[in-house]
Structure 1
Amino acid sequence: MDSWDSFSHYSNSSSNGLEERLYQHLQHCRQQQPPHRVIDRFHQLFIEAEGYVDGAIWATLGEIVRRPQAPREFKYTLNRCCYTLINPWYTQPRDHWAIPELISQFQSLPPAPGSTAMARRVRQLVQGFTQSEQYASLYRLQQIFTEAGTVVAADADDEKPLSCFIRNYPYLYDHSLLTKDSDEAQKQNIQDMRRRQETQLGVRLARYHSQNRQDSRQGPRQNPTWLSDDHLSQALSYYTGKVDGPRSHRDLASWFTAFSRSVRSFADFKEEFCEYLMGPVVAVEPKYSGNHFTRRLRQCLGEILSEFDDQRLTPFLVVELCRRLLNFLVVDNPRRPVFRNFTHLINDIGYALTVGLLLRLVLFCKSAKPWLERCFAVLFNYHEQLPRQQVGWLVQGLEHVNVALITNFGEFGYQF
Structure 2
Amino acid sequence: MTLPEAQQQIFDFLLSIVREWPPEDVLHEFEELFFHSTETTGSGSVSALYTILFANNPQEFHNTLKRSCYILVNNWEVNRQYEAICTFVALFENPLLQRYTLSPTLKRLREWLYSFSQSEDYRELRLFASRFSEEAREQPWSARYASYLLVPQYTNVENPIEQREAARALSRRLKDKFKFELAMYTAHSQAPVSRHRKLRNPTKLGDSVLRLIKAIVARRGEFSHRNLAHLFLEQVKELHYRDFKKSLLEYLVYSVHQADLVKALKQHLGHKLDALYPEHDESEVDRSLQLRTCNRLIDHLMTEDKRTPSQLFTLMLSQGSSLSLAIVLLKLILICRSAHPYLEARIADLIRYYEQFPQEQCAWVINFLEVFQVTFAIYAENVEYNLISPETSTPEQWTLETLEACRVFSRMVRGYDLEGDRDSNDVTES
Indicate the TM-score class for this superposition, using the shorter chain for normalisation: 0.7 to 0.9
Note if contact 1:351-1:400 (Cα within 8 Å) is conserved in structure 2.
yes
- Paired residue for 1:18? 6
- Paired residue for 1:247? 223
Amino acid at match of 2:336: C
Determine helix, strand or coil for the equivalent of 1:356.
Answer: helix
- Paired residue for 1:339? 310
What do the CA deviations read for 1:20-76 (whole angstroms, capped 9, x no partner)? 2222332344356421232133233323x36455694333212202214x2222221
- Paired residue for 2:76? 89
Identity over the aligned pairs, expressed in percent? 25
Instruction: Provide TM-score, normalisation by structure 2.
Output: 0.79
State how 1:6-405 maps to structure 2 within 5 Å. 15-31=3-19, 33-47=21-35, 49=36, 51-53=38-40, 56-68=44-56, 70-93=57-80, 95-110=81-96, 111-147=98-134, 160-167=139-146, 170-176=147-153, 179-215=156-192, 218-219=195-196, 220-230=198-208, 232-242=209-219, 247-262=223-238, 264-281=239-256, 283=257, 285-291=258-264, 293-334=265-306, 336-384=307-355, 387-405=358-376
**1:162 to partner: Cα distance:** 3.4
- Summarize the Cα distance change of 1:208–1:56 in structure 2 as closer, same or farther, 3 Å threshold: closer
- Summarize the Cα distance change of 1:144–1:176 in structure 2 as closer, same or farther, 3 Å threshold: farther
Note if contact 2:6-2:48 (Cα within 8 Å) is conserved in structure 1.
yes
Partner Cα separation in structure 2 for residue 43 and residue 218 of structure 1: 53
Determine helix, strand or coil for the equivalent of 2:308.
Answer: coil
Determine helix, strand or coil for the equivalent of 1:97.
Answer: helix
Amino acid at match of 2:352: N
Note if contact 1:240-1:249 (Cα within 8 Å) is conserved in structure 2.
no
- Paired residue for 1:4? none
- Summarize the Cα distance change of 1:369–1:27 in structure 2 as closer, same or farther, 3 Å threshold: closer
Determine helix, strand or coil for the equivalent of 2:200.
Answer: coil
- Summarize the Cα distance change of 1:32–1:278 in structure 2 as closer, same or farther, 3 Å threshold: closer
**1:390 to partner: Cα distance:** 4.3
Amino acid at match of 1:225: T
- Summarize the Cα distance change of 1:404–1:109 in structure 2 as closer, same or farther, 3 Å threshold: farther
**1:142 to partner: Cα distance:** 1.1
Q: Which stretches in structure 1 are left out of the alignment for 5+ residues? A: 1-12
Amino acid at match of 1:25: F
Note if contact 1:359-1:405 (Cα within 8 Å) is conserved in structure 2.
yes
- Paired residue for 1:6? none
Note if contact 1:29-1:38 (Cα within 8 Å) is conserved in structure 2.
yes
How many positions carry a matched residue from both structures?
384
What do the CA deviations read for 1:84-143 (whole angstroms, capped 9, x no partner)? 2222212222x2210121111112343224331011111111122234343232111011
Partner Cα separation in structure 1 for residue 357 and residue 60 of structure 2: 29
Note if contact 1:362-1:368 (Cα within 8 Å) is conserved in structure 2.
yes
Determine helix, strand or coil for the equivalent of 2:255.
Answer: helix
Note if contact 1:256-1:276 (Cα within 8 Å) is conserved in structure 2.
yes
Amino acid at match of 1:396: N
Partner Cα separation in structure 1 for residue 125 and residue 237 of structure 2: 44
Partner Cα separation in structure 1 for residue 16 and residue 233 of structure 2: 54
What do the CA deviations read for 1:327-366 (whole angstroms, capped 9, x no partner)? 11001223x4343321221111421111111111111221
Please say which of residues 26-35 and 362-371 is displaced more in the overlay.
26-35
Note if contact 2:14-2:68 (Cα within 8 Å) is conserved in structure 1.
yes
Partner Cα separation in structure 1 for residue 332 and residue 353 of structure 2: 24
Amino acid at match of 1:249: H
Which structure has more relative contact order (CA 8 Å, sep 6+)? It is 1
**1:393 to partner: Cα distance:** 3.2
Q: CA RMSD in A?
A: 2.9
Partner Cα separation in structure 1 for residue 141 and residue 101 of structure 2: 34
- Summarize the Cα distance change of 1:29–1:215 in structure 2 as closer, same or farther, 3 Å threshold: closer
> Which has a greater percent of helix?
1
